[in-house]
Amino acid sequence: MRPKYYITTPIYYVNAQPHIGTAYTTIAADVMARYKRLCGYETFYLTGTDEHGQKILRAANAEGMNPKEYADRIVSQYYKTWADLNIKYDYFIRTTDPKHQKAVQTLFSKIANNGDIYKGKYSGWYCTPCERYVSVKESSPEGLRGGCPVCQRPTEFLEEENYFFRLSKYRDKMLDYLKKNGDFVEPVSRYNEVFSKIEMGLDDISISRASFDWGIPLPSDQKQIIWVWFDALTNYLSGVGYPEDEGIFKKFWPADVHLIAKDILWFHAVIWPCMLFSAGLEPPLKIFAHGWWTMNADKISKSKGNVIYPADVIDRFGVDSIRYFLLREIPFGQDGDFSLPALLRRHNNELANELGNLIMRCLTMIEKYNGSKVPKSEGIDSSKELWNELFTSLEQKFSAYMECLQFSLALEKVWEAIKMANKYIDDTKPWVLAKEKTGRLSDVLYNLAEIIRLVSVYLMPFMPNTAEIIRQQLGIDDEMISIPSGLSFGQIRPGTKVNKGSALFPKVE
Ligand code: ME8
């Protein structure tokens, strides 16, 4: 049986169209899912949209629209943007899907039957932009004049008869779980943050709303709707068939990793596992909270008005350049400023000069010196052994970095090989070897063809279009594209007909 891999992104609010921040998580999950597929895993990649709650209702009202029609309009922009970014998800979940709604009610009933839900009165602050209750500990005696402690936007005072979840009951279990699973939350700084916050105590939380009806009704009280975060988190179960499609659910749950940004860590690393503990379900295996893309140190978000849309940059640089830049520029887990000059630099230097030129030089020389056919290696030159060693070590490092989602480091390693290959051409001077006619030329050209084949496999998760073009130029199709078997050196067949084509990354001024 093939091993499974289940990866998710947050489901995005439909009050805004996708931007570079939401694209970041979606691309990272896509890269990981593509990588795992290449490694032979039966992979499930889930993304989608979060469509209920007061924030969405208000956004729809502001446009004079019914919330479902409003959501439909924004969702179509998500579909389009993810297609433009070459995102290959297995399912796109919408919280307005009837199946999802049923799953949320089932989970709610399970938790209620377990004695973990009770009725009470919520009297306190609420941040509608974050859709979160602000606890007494977080608010000062005079309220929250400074706004929400997470997003700093104004909070509202709520007084509602609500249903509460006994989160407090799970404090010790959660701490114990964290102690036994030191990699449950990554990076480690986020683990420590969560651990010390739980140690200070967990309060029960309200999980219903009574003052509007854009949401999923409680199974036991039709006058209330389920709190949007309880609704949204359940997507990770309903997206893989919970509760009806037991076969798929059993195959994929627990999720291998929930990718999120740091602002929604508490919901995922604490509230969500406690809900699952209560329902008798396993928690996900890992929560990875990456950092924020910022603009002059401010988080990129619709409310700050500093949003960059993927379409704006795709038109200028091409989709693979954006995918590459986002994952190469900042270590996954840290914040980083989005800057067009940095994108331009990486596009022109690393993609056009280093990668694009390497491919063009190799193919041009195979065309010119060997009639467009990959030559047979004569075994005169010892560099084949050196390349073999280099790629064996690259494979180990690349896989290790991918397993811990360190995309920038994995790419850095591939670029070391690309730079060495360019230097290999400069050092061996095939144009001189062509005159010497010693047979060494065949060895060098063979090695170069194999180097670019391997580069295409490594780049496949990150830049699928580019990898595909390289393979077409090299004259190979579906062969040798699995990890690790496709990564050993020396597999390309002599006689393979290459097809030079045009330059991969035209420079951008
Ligand atoms: O929080 N930098 O939805 P959301 C990096 N519906 N990532 C960013 C980003 C930025 N500047 N801006 C957004 C919600 N993101 C809930 C989630 S899940 C059960 C419910 C990404 O539309 C990042 O992944 O506000 C962040 O966690 C997510 O978008 C928030 O999307």
Above 60 in pLDDT, residue 141?
A: no
Within 10 angstroms of residue 196's Cβ, the number of other Cβ atoms is: 9
The set of residues, in sequence order, having a beta carbon less than 8 Å from that of 191 and lying 6+ positions away, is 178, 182, 183, 184, 185
Query: 169-219: per-residue pLDDT in tens?
Result: 999 999 999 999 999 999 999 999 999 999 999 999 999 999 999 999 999
Question: Tokens representing 159?
Answer: 């007084």
Which pLDDT score is estimated for 96?
98
> Which structural domains are found in the chain, ordered by start?
339-487 (1.10.730.10)
- Distance between CA 20 and CA 188 in Å, rounded? 25
CA pair distance 341, 427, nearest whole angstrom: 32
CA 121 to the chain's CA centroid:
38
In short, whether 28's Cβ falls inside 6 Å of ligand 1 is no
Q: What number is the average pLDDT over the span 377-397?
A: 92
Integer Cα distance of 248 and 250 in angstroms: 6
Residue nearest to atom 7 of ligand 1 (CA): 21
Burial of 250 (0-12, 13-18, 19+ CB in 10 A): exposed
307 Cβ closer than 6 Å to some ligand 1 atom: no
331/326 Cα distance (integer angstroms): 10
Q: Exposed, middle or buried, 376 (CB in 10 Å: 0-12/13-18/19+)?
A: middle
Taking the C-alpha atoms of residue 403 and residue 395, their distance in angstroms, rounded to an integer, is 12
- Provide the angle, in degrees to the nearest 10, between the axes of the packed helices 407-428 and 319-329: 110
Which residue has its alpha carbon closest to ligand 1 atom 18? 10
Q: Which of 190, 264, 334 to mutate to test the pocket of ligand 1 (most atoms within 8 A of CB)?
A: 264
Q: Is 496 helix (H, G, I), strand (E, B) or coil?
A: coil
Q: Is the CB of 504 under 6 A from ligand 1?
A: no
The pLDDT value recorded for residue 479 is: 64
Which atom of ligand 1 is the closest one to the Cα of 130? 1
* Ligand 1 atom at minimum distance from 268 CA: 19
- Per-residue pLDDT tens for 412-456? 999 999 999 999 999 999 999 999 988 899 999 999 999 999 999
Q: Is 49 in the pocket of ligand 1 (CB under 6 A)?
A: no
Predicted confidence band of residue 145 (pLDDT cuts 50, 70, 90): low
pLDDT digits (tens, 9 = 90+) for 209-263: 999 999 999 999 999 999 999 999 999 999 999 999 999 999 999 999 999 999 9
Q: Is the CB of 229 under 6 A from ligand 1?
A: no
106 and 243 Cβ atoms separated by less than 8 Å: yes
In contact, 320 and 465? CB cutoff 8 Å:
yes
Q: Which residues of 380-419 are buried (b: 16+ CB within 10 A; e: fewer)?
A: ebeebeebeebbeebbeebeebbebbbbbbbbebbbebbe
pLDDT tens digits for range 325-348: 999 999 999 999 999 999 999 999
pTM, entire model: 0.97
For a mutational test of ligand 1's pocket, the pick from 11, 19, 22, 78, i.e. the residue with the most ligand atoms closer than 8 A to its C-beta, is 22
Task: Centre a 10 Å sphere on the Cβ of residue 431 and count the other Cβ atoms it contains.
Answer: 12
Lowest mean pLDDT among 90-99, 163-172, 295-304: 295-304
Per-residue model confidence (pLDDT) at position 304: 84
Tell whether the model's pLDDT for residue 487 goes beyond 90. Answer: no
DSSP output for 85-119: TT---SEEEETTSHHHHHHHHHHHHHHHHTT-EEE
29 CA from centroid of ligand 1 (Å):
13
**Which residue stretches of 304-429 are H helix?**
310-317, 319-329, 340-346, 357-370, 383-403, 407-428
For ligand 1, whether the C-beta of 230 sits within 6 Å is no
